[in-house]
C-alpha cells in the first residue's frame, strides 16, 4: 500500500495532462513537478480554477465550443465565457468577454452561426454571433428570460424554454404579469402541491418550450398549459428536441394530477404545423425522459424506469419507431443505469454512458438490439517495472459529455479526476478500440502544477454480509507512510449517489485532506454504479445496511492502512450524508467530531416540509400515517439520548429539499443534551453552498472544527 502511493505520486507529477492510463504510458519529463515546490490546495486555489463544461463540436468537426466559469472571491460572483479550440489541438480562442453569463453555446446546423444565452442585457436572452466571436446580436426579449436553447435542424428556428405565466397568450401579458409579481405583497397563497421546488417558490409559473425564427419575431409557445417542460425534477440531459426534418418536437412533461408524489414523466411529440400532442410512453407510469432522434429521424431513443414513485430506479435504454409505433428495450440484462445517449452518425448503433463501479464508462449497442460492448472503461491497468519486479497501477478518469463527429470515429468529451479538474479531450474509436487520446484544453495546468494533490486510491472490502463494497482513500500532501495521520470519513448524499473520481467543488476530497488528513470515502449500500440490487439496498433501510457497510469499511481501513491514527477520526456528510452523521450520533462513539450539513434529522417533520413527496414515500414505504413504523425506526431524532459527539451543524435557509428546520432541530437537541456544538446558518443559500465567500467560510469552519478535535 505504501509503495503504491509513492508510485502514484511520481506518475501524477510527471504527466502534465495525466487524465488516463493511455497517456500515462508516455511520460512527459518537461512537465515534471518538483515536489519541494508543491503546496497544499486552499479554498482560494479551488476558486481560481476555471470550471470547464459543455463541449459542443462544430458540424464540420474542426473545432469545439466550450464554456469556462471563473470565480471572483473578493467580488463574490462568477463569470462564464465561451471558448473555441481546434479538434486537432492548438490554442483556445475566447469568444465572449462580457461580464456576467455567456453560456450554452450551440452551433447552427450549417456551422455559420453560434447561438448562446447571455445575461448582458435584459436578463438571460438568446444571442447570436459568428464562429469567430464577431457580430454579436440579440435575438429574444422574453420578459421571463430564457433557460435552455436548441436549434431546429433546418436551421431557420431556435427552440428555447422559459418559466412563464400559462394564462398569458401574448408577450405583453407576460411582461405585465412579471411587473405585477414584482409589485405585489410578498405573500403567497397556495392551493396545490408543490408550491416550491428545490430553492424557489413556484409563483404560478411553468416552464414551456418556445420556437423563435432566426430573423426574430414573436416566440411561439409550443407546450401551453399548466405543465413543466423540462419537468420540475428527474429530467434527462435534454428534454426537448426537434426531429431532423424540423417537422416534429419531442418533449418531456408530467401530466399527472399530483406531481408532488408522481415520478411519471412522459415523452410527448407534437407536430410543428399543428397542435396535436401524442404521448409515446403512456403505458409506463414510471419516469421516461431524454428523447434523442436518430440521424434519419425514424427512431427516438430515450431513458426509461419501470417502478413508479422510485427516483433511483434503473434507467433502461429504449427505442421508439415513429413508423410502426413499436418500442423495444436494449438494456434488459444490463445492470447499470443509462445516462447520456449518443446516436452513431450512420444511425445503426447507439453509444451511451453509465456509472460503472465508481467511474463512468462508454458503451455501444445496435439500435435493433444485441450485445452491449464497453467502448471506454473508466479505469485502465498500467503495467510497469520497479526494481526488476513487474507491478500494476490503476489509472482512472471520469469521462462524460460525449459527442461523436460526422466522421463516425472521433469522440469529444470531458475528463477529470479527484486531483485534476475537468478538461476537454478527444479520442478515435475504430474497430472496437479507442486510440489517440488527446487533451485539447489546459485551462488549469499552471495552477495545478503548483499543488500537492495525491490521486485517490480505490480499495474493496467484504462487508458484513459478504458483499463487495468499494471505497477511496486520499492521502494528505507531503505524505509519509511512516507517520500517523488523523482521518476524516466522508459519506455521500443521495442516498442513491456515488463517490466517483471527480474534482468536486462542494465536497472536494483534496481540500479536505490538505491540512494533513487522510480522507476515506466508502460507496455504501444505496450507491449507484454497482448494480441495481446494490442501489436498492438502502430502500427502507436508511440506518441499516448502509450504516453496517460504513462501520465495516472503517474497520477495514484501520486494519489495512497503518498510517491512520485510530484515535483521531472525524466524520462529515451532507444531505443523506448529513442524515448518516445524525445516525452516527445515536449509534456510535467511534468519532471524535462530526460535521452534519443539510442532514435529515426527523423523518416525520421532514415529510411535512419537503417538496418531493415521492421520495420519502418510496424510501419509507408510504406516508407517516400509513407506515409510521418505518419513520420511527429510521429517524435519528428518536436516539437523542445517545448523542455525545461534538457536532458542527450547517444549513441554508433556501433549502426546500431538506428544510433548514431539520438542522435547527438537531442543533437544539445537541444543545439541550449539553453536547459541544455549533450551527452555521446561511440565509442566502439552498441545499448547496454556492457563493464564493460563503463557501470559503464553510471550508474554513470545517477545517477549524476538525483542527480542534483531531489535531490536539
Q: What is the per-residue pLDDT across 253-290, written as a single tens digit (0 to 9) for each?
A: 999 999 999 999 999 999 998 778 999 999 999 999 99
Which residues make up the CATH 3.40.50.1820 domain(s) of the chain? 457-710
Which CATH number is associated with domain 141-180+191-329?
A: 2.40.128
- pTM reported for the whole predicted model: 0.93
How many angstroms separate the most distant Cα atoms in the chain? 78
- Measure the CA–CA gap between 325 and 335, rounded to whole angstroms: 27
Q: Exposed, middle or buried, 578 (CB in 10 Å: 0-12/13-18/19+)?
A: buried
Q: What mean pLDDT is predicted for residues 330-348?
A: 97
CA distances from 163 to 143, 596, 611, 687 (A): 10, 34, 19, 21
pLDDT of residue 229: 98
Q: Does residue 251 have a pLDDT over 80?
A: yes
- Measure the CA–CA gap between 453 and 47, rounded to whole angstroms: 16
pLDDT of residue 377: 85
pLDDT-wise least confident of 14-28, 125-139, 439-453: 14-28
pLDDT of residue 431: 79
User: Residue 557's closest CA among 519, 528, 525?
Assistant: 519
Q: What mean pLDDT is predicted for residues 181-202?
A: 90
Q: What percent of the chain has a predicted confidence (pLDDT) above 90? A: 87
Q: Which CATH class is domain 457-710?
A: alpha beta
Q: Does residue 21 have a pLDDT over 60?
A: no
Q: Does residue 392 have a pLDDT over 70?
A: no
Q: Residue 601: helix, strand or coil by DSSP? A: coil
pLDDT of residue 383: 61
Q: How confident is the model at residue 397 (pLDDT cuts 50, 70, 90)?
A: confident
Which residues make up the CATH 2.40.128 domain(s) of the chain? 141-180+191-329
- Measure the CA–CA gap between 459 and 575, rounded to whole angstroms: 25
Amino acid at each position: 500500500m505504501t509503495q503504491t502511493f509513492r508510485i502514484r505520486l511520481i506518475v501524477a507529477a510527471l504527466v502534465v495532462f495525466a487524465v488516463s492510463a493511455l497517456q500515462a504510458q508516455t511520460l512527459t519529463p518537461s512537465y515534471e513537478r518538483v515536489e519541494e515546490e508543491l503546496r497544499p490546495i486552499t479554498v482560494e486555489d479551488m476558486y481560481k480554477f476555471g470550471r470547464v463544461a459543455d463541449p459542443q463540436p462544430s458540424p464540420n468537426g474542426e473545432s469545439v465550443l466550450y464554456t469556462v466559469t471563473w470565480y471572483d472571491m473578493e467580488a463574490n460572483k462568477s463569470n462564464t465565457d465561451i471558448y473555441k479550440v481546434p479538434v486537432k489541438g492548438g490554442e483556445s480562442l475566447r469568444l465572449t468577454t462580457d461580464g456576467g453569463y455567456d453560456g450554452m453555446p450551440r452551433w447552427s446546423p450549417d456551422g455559420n452561426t453560434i447561438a448562446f444565452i447571455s445575461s448582458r442585457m435584459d436578463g438571460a436572452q438568446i444571442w447570436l454571433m459568428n464562429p469567430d466571436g464577431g457580430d454579436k446580436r440579440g435575438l429574444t426579449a422574453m420578459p421571463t428570460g430564457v433557460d435552455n436553447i436548441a436549434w431546429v435542424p433546418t436551421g431557420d428556428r431556435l427552440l428555447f424554454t422559459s418559466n412563464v405565466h400559462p394564462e398569458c397568450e401574448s408577450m405583453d401579458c407576460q411582461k405585465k404579469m412579471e411587473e405585477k409579481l414584482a409589485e405585489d405583497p410578498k405573500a403567497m397563497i397556495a392551493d396545490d402541491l408543490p408550491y416550491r421546488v428545490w430553492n424557489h417558490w413556484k409563483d404560478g409559473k411553468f416552464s414551456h418550450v418556445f420556437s423563435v425564427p432566426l430573423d426574430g419575431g414573436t416566440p411561439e409557445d409550443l407546450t401551453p398549459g399548466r405543465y413543466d417542460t423540462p419537468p420540475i425534477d428527474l429530467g434527462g440531459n435534454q428534454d426537448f428536441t426537434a426531429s431532423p426534418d424540423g417537422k416534429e418536437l419531442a418533449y418531456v412533461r408530467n401530466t399527472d394530477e399530483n406531481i408532488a408524489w408522481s415520478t411519471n414523466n412522459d415523452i410527448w411529440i407534437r407536430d410543428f404545423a399543428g397542435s396535436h400532442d401524442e404521448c409515446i410512453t403512456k403505458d409506463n407510469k414510471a419516469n421516461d425522459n431524454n428523447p434523442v432522434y436518430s440521424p434519419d429521424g425514424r427512431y427516438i431513443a430515450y431513458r426509461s424506469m419501470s417502478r413508479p414513485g422510485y427516483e433511483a430506479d434503473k434507467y433502461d435504454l429504449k427505442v421508439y419507431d415513429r413508423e410502426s409505433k413499436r418500442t423495444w428495450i436494449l438494456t434488459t440484462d444490463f445492470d447499470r443505469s443509462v445516462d447520456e445517449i449518443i446516436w452513431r452518425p450512420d444511425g445503426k448503433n447507439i453509444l451511451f454512458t453509465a456509472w460503472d463501479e465508481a467511474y463512468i464508462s462508454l458503451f455501444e449497442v445496435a439500435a435493433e438490439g444485441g450485445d452491449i460492448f464497453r467502448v471506454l472503461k473508466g479505469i485502465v491497468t498500467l503495467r510497469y517495472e520497479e526494481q526488476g519486479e513487474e507491478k500494476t497501477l490503476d489509472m482512472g478518469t471520469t469521462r462524460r459529455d460525449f459527442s461523436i463527429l460526422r466522421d463516425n470515429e472521433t469522440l469529444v468529451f470531458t475528463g477529470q479526476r479527484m486531483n485534476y479538474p475537468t478538461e476537454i479531450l478527444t479520442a478515435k474509436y475504430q474497430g472496437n478500440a479507442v486510440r489517440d487520446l488527446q487533451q485539447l484544453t489546459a485551462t488549469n495546468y499552471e495552477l495545478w502544477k503548483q499543488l500537492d494533490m495525491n490521486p485517490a486510491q480505490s480499495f474493496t472490502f467484504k462487508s458484513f454480509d459478504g458483499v463487495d463494497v468499494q471505497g477511496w482513500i486520499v492521502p494528505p500532501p507531503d505524505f509519509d507512510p511512516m507517520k500517523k495521520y488523523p482521518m476524516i470519513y466522508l459519506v455521500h448524499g443521495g442516498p442513491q449517489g456515488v463517490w466517483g473520481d471527480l474534482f468536486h467543488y462542494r465536497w472536494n476530497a483534496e481540500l479536505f485532506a490538505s491540512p494533513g488528513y487522510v480522507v476515506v470515502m466508502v460507496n455504501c449500500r444505496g450507491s449507484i454504479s454497482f448494480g441495481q440490487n446494490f442501489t436498492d439496498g438502502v430502500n427502507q433501510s436508511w440506518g441499516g445496511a448502509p450504516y453496517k457497510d460504513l462501520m465495516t469499511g472503517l474497520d477495514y481501513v484501520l486494519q489495512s492502512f497503518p498510517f491512520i491514527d485510530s484515535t483521531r477520526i472525524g466524520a462529515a456528510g451532507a444531505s443523506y450524508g448529513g442524515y448518516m452523521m445524525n445516525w452516527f450520533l445515536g449509534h456510535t462513539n467511534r468519532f471524535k467530531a462530526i460535521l452534519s450539513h443539510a442532514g435529515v434529522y426527523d423523518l416525520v417533520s421532514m415529510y411535512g416540509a419537503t417538496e418531493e413527496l415521492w421520495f420519502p414515500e418510496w424510501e419509507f414505504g408510504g406516508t407517516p400515517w400509513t407506515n409510521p413504523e418505518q419513520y420511527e425506526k429510521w429517524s435519528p431524532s428518536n436516539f437523542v439520548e445517545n448523542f455525545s459527539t461534538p457536532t458542527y451543524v450547517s444549513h441554508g435557509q433556501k433549502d426546500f429539499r431538506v428544510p433548514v428546520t431539520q438542522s435547527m432541530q438537531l442543533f437544539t437537541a445537541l444543545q439541550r443534551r449539553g453536547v459541544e456544538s455549533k450551527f452555521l446558518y446561511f440565509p442566502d443559500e439552498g441545499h448547496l453552498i454556492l457563493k464564493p465567500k460563503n463557501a470559503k467560510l464553510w471550508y474554513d469552519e470545517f477545517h477549524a472544527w476538525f483542527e480542534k478535535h483531531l489535531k490536539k
